[in-house]
A and B are shown apart, each in its own frame.
Chain A
Amino acid sequence: MARNLAQAIMYLFPDAAPQIDFSLRDDGEGPYIDIWNLPDPQPDEATLAQAEADYLAAAIAAEQARQQLRDQIKTLAQSAVGETLDNLTQAQLKSLVAILLWKAGAVANDLTINPLSDWVRE
């Protein structure tokens, strides 16, 4: 099982850039911090382990929130099936647009809209 050491560091220092502010290495006995260039002191193992657990918990919570939102949108869109356009509620319209955006590759993993250049043909 790969360790999430990089994510743990990024969780503690969101602006840190891998390979610039820090470098990690694994010579066969697990990853470790090879180079530390941030002005902050290098975190100890206990801090890193806690950050790794916090990162994983936050990632799971974010994925659950995304899944919940997806389910809500799908349910709303499903409720629009069979309705005429002028009878659609704002919420139904929004959900239908959201689904079309997803299909077009316009929505990033964090639910923000990707740059138009990524999904709109010139």
Chain B
Amino acid sequence: MILNVAIVEDDAESVKLLKSYFIRYQRENQNIAFEFYIFDDGVKIISNFKPIYDIILLDIEMEITDGLRTAEIIRETDRKVIIIFVTNMPQYAIKGYSVNATNYLLKPLPYFAFSEEISKSIERIKREKQNKNIIIKTENSIKKIDSDEILFIESIKHDLIIHTEQDFFEIRDTLKKYEDILQDYNFNRANNSYLINLKHVKGVEQDFALVGNHKLKIARSKKKQFMEHLVNYLGEKV
């Protein structure tokens, strides 16, 4: 797997160290390779920003555009990229939540903390990338749906309705089968007749899960496992 890494840092020594860590990581993990993009100020990466990076390491204190401001602007175009602040100013990094950067690395940076953080990031990138395409046969066509786009699957008698954000598809199949197919993709059987994609759960109100514009009943007996699954899923993303 090749990952695009941007290092935005005005201190040349620090850039050198980070690069050497990445190279060491690459050596220790055979199937990972990094492609580097180095910027010596925030302003350089955000002018003409393209969402091509997997990981951005961002210094906080920089001359023209500081790390937090840079991150804000990056987030306007790229919501997925992993942003990790590298700083000796924890009092600023604490605000990372506003740009969805929930981890930061403290200078002086030992290799261990670096490699653990990178491993976690890679795990997350892999998770994000693993969507499953399912092929469904409707009455007059065959269609490919990305599991990410499914809000939930509903079972009515012997039919299934696959609800996506814009559309829905009716097929003749069992919910159990889809539960098995999608079991590694954070779908939860909240009820006998619903298989819910946790990614699209907007909230939980009493015994209902809010999914898209739908309010789906969570069976009382399934509530605990549903919540546990949801909390684990949310926790993984933090």
Q: Do A and B come from one complex?
A: no
